[in-house]
Amino acid sequence: MKNFFKYREIWLLAGIVVLIGLISTRFPGFADPANLRQVFNDTSILMILALGQMVVILTRSIDLSMASNLCFTGMVVAMLNAAHPAIPIPALIAIALLVGLALGAINGFLVWRLNIPSIVVTLGTLTIYRGATFVVSGGAWVNADQMSPDFINFQRAAFLGLPVLSWIALLVIALFFLVMTRTQIGRSIHAIGVNPTASVYAGIDVGRTKFIVFCISGMIGGLAGYLWISRYVIASVEVANGYELNIIAACVIGGISIAGGIGSVGGAVLGALFLGIISNALPVINISPFWQMAISGSAIILAVVLNARGERRQGRIILRKAEAA
């Protein structure tokens, strides 16, 4: 039982259950399966983005440009759909992935080859990509009446009781779980976060691995670009403005250590779900938007404190064993 409760995901899942229970005392229908499915669907895009950010953070880096990537890619596919509505949706999704990959590769190249800190690189590309969105669109919006019905309805279609958007999120979660637990690149990502110097001696190319994780986060941003625009049926320069903070918050709440090396797919998903529950529930129970921000911020600070204490505790245990030896 002691080993069972040492996993942060268990505590976070328990916190989500308690949170749902507390909300249900004010709004009894919140815990209904149909409503919880809707909450999951509403949070799907944030889950997908949090997974892309997770692999970057695990390597002691950060990608502040994901929301701008989403905005630019979403504008590109929306404009393509408006101009050429006959383009199949799978082709548009593939284009979104490729555009996102290109933007992520720019970040990765600058971090890898020029050895510029990721926070500096992505702070710059955050502005560049959003500015590029304005240049591409000429400052114009793409509205719902310019989008084809297939573009809008694809992710809203239901399959086995769940919208396609939820199935896409589940597929992305499964793919990330397999990559992080069953592949060499997954093990390399964790190793770099734990000790970059030792990783070099173990034969891991740290720079190339960081380039790969930025490409992954870029592709995820591109995928989210299509999903966001087709869900909210509007493309503009302001899309997802500031959303990079929500993405990072989901990772931090999910136990992804900013210092790198510590975190899991389950943690990122649960962190996003925690934020999703708060954003869906607090307006229903008439909590002021300002209190919503305060509650979300408090949850982030608490998560950081708990993560830091957990990491220090592990460090003290290792030191004790070394001294005993």
pLDDT tens digit sequence for 25-43: 888 888 888 888 999 999 9
Position 255 pLDDT exceeds 50 = yes
Q: What is the pLDDT of residue 2?
A: 45
Q: What is the pLDDT of residue 5?
A: 42
Position 325 pLDDT exceeds 50 = no
pLDDT (mean) for 237-262: 88
Mean pLDDT of all residues belonging to the chain: 87
Q: What is the pLDDT of residue 202?
A: 85
Q: What is the pLDDT of residue 307?
A: 65
Q: What is the total residue count of the chain?
A: 325
Domain ranges of the chain: 38-306
Higher per-residue pLDDT: 164 or 24 = 164
Phi, psi of 115 (to 5 degrees): 55, 40
The distance in angstroms from the start CA to the end CA of the chain is 28
pLDDT tens digit sequence for 293-321: 777 677 777 776 766 655 555 444 333 44
Q: What is the pLDDT of residue 206?
A: 92
pLDDT tens digit sequence for 216-240: 999 999 999 999 999 999 999 999 9
- 38-306 domain in CATH 1.25.40? no
Q: What is the pLDDT of residue 318?
A: 37
pLDDT tens digit sequence for 41-71: 999 999 999 999 999 999 999 999 999 999 9
pLDDT (mean) for 173-179: 96
Q: What is the pLDDT of residue 310?
A: 57
What percent of the chain lies above the pLDDT cut of 70? 88
Position 17 pLDDT exceeds 80 = yes
pLDDT (mean) for 12-27: 84
Tokens 């701008």 correspond to what residue?
A: 68
